[in-house]
Amino acid sequence: MAQLVLSNVGSAIGARLLPNGAAAFGAQVSGAAIGRAIGSVAGSFLDARYLRPPVEGPRIREFHVTESREGASVPVVYGRMRVGGQVIWAARFTEQAEESGGKGGPRVREYSYSLSFAVALAEGEVARVARCWANGAPFDLSKVTWRFYPGSETQQPDPLIEAVEGAGEAPAYRGLSYVVFEDLPVDEFGARMPQMSFEIVRPAGAGRIGWRMWRGR
């Protein structure tokens, strides 16, 4: 649309400013033709940059969250052990859009996604998380925002969970060690929550490994 309008406007302005035209490469070019060419270029830029809808990249409408169910087992760990996490809380995924291109070419709008969620590790207090894996591959925790709750009987609700669920509604999960990931980028995992596992460390006591049943809050 802008290309058509500005080419006509440019033609009228060129005819007025250069009534006798101009010489170019040994040929005489009318002012209207010069103005039309300039207007067409300007209009094409405006169309591509502002008026034409961008080309949409892949986009998801719903997010698959790792299954969390009542009755799933939560380990009691002594020493050092690798455990598979049990998702106990998740917020709605976050979508970010970024446009590229333009300047005469098509605009492309790409989408990226992140997710905030909590993963239960073990019953009772755990000293630390030693390592982490995502979909079976080593995962560098230093590159993401995460918080570790050792599982004490006095631990407080996570601030993110409290902000989402509301003050007084967020569980503290006392007696349960868990981690919270805040806005974890999931594009590298196919825009899905990865299967997380952790190597956790707890000072050896009775020297055994037990299990209990997870019953929600």
Instruction: Examine residue 61 and state whether it is found in any structural domain, yes or no.
Output: no
Structural domain count, the chain: 2
Instruction: Examine residue 62 and state whether it is found in any structural domain, yes or no.
Output: no
For residues 83 and 166, state if they share a domain: yes
Alpha carbons within 13 A on the beta-carbon side of 101: 20
For residues 44 and 79, state if they share a domain: no
For residues 84 and 45, state if they share a domain: no
For residues 127 and 190, state if they share a domain: yes
pLDDT at 32: 59
In the chain the first and final C-alpha atoms are separated, in Å, by 59
Instruction: Examine residue 67 and state whether it is found in any structural domain, yes or no.
Output: no
Strand partners, 138: 133
For residues 177 and 101, state if they share a domain: yes
Taking residue 34's Cβ as centre, other Cβ atoms within 10 Å add up to 20
For residues 177 and 84, state if they share a domain: yes
Instruction: Examine residue 43 and state whether it is found in any structural domain, yes or no.
Output: yes
Q: Is the pLDDT of residue 27 over 90?
A: no
Coil, strand, or helix at residue 95?
strand
For residues 30 and 80, state if they share a domain: no
pLDDT band at 108 (very low <50, low <70, confident <90, very high): confident
Spatial separation of the C-alpha atoms in residues 77 and 59, rounded to whole Å: 41
For residues 147 and 198, state if they share a domain: yes
Instruction: Examine residue 178 and state whether it is found in any structural domain, yes or no.
Output: yes
Percent of the chain with pLDDT over 70: 58
Range of the domain at 82: 73-213
For residues 96 and 203, state if they share a domain: yes
Q: Which two tokens stand for residue 43?
A: 């209009």
For residues 149 and 182, state if they share a domain: yes
Higher-confidence residue: 184 or 64? 184
Q: Which two tokens stand for residue 192?
A: 């899905």
Which range of 20-34, 127-141, 198-212 scores highest in mean pLDDT? It is 127-141
75 within 8 A of 86, measured Cβ to Cβ: no
Instruction: Examine residue 64 and state whether it is found in any structural domain, yes or no.
Output: no
Taking residue 5's Cβ as centre, other Cβ atoms within 10 Å add up to 12
**Buried b or exposed e, range 181-211, using 16+ CB within 10 angstroms:** bbbbebeebebbbbebbbebbbeeeeeeeee
Q: Is the pLDDT of residue 182 over 90?
A: yes
Higher-confidence residue: 105 or 160? 160
Q: How deeply is 169 buried, as exposed, middle or buried, from its count of CB atoms within 10 A (0-12, 13-18, 19+)?
A: exposed
Instruction: Examine residue 57 and state whether it is found in any structural domain, yes or no.
Output: no
Q: Is the pLDDT of residue 9 over 90?
A: no
Instruction: Examine residue 63 and state whether it is found in any structural domain, yes or no.
Output: no
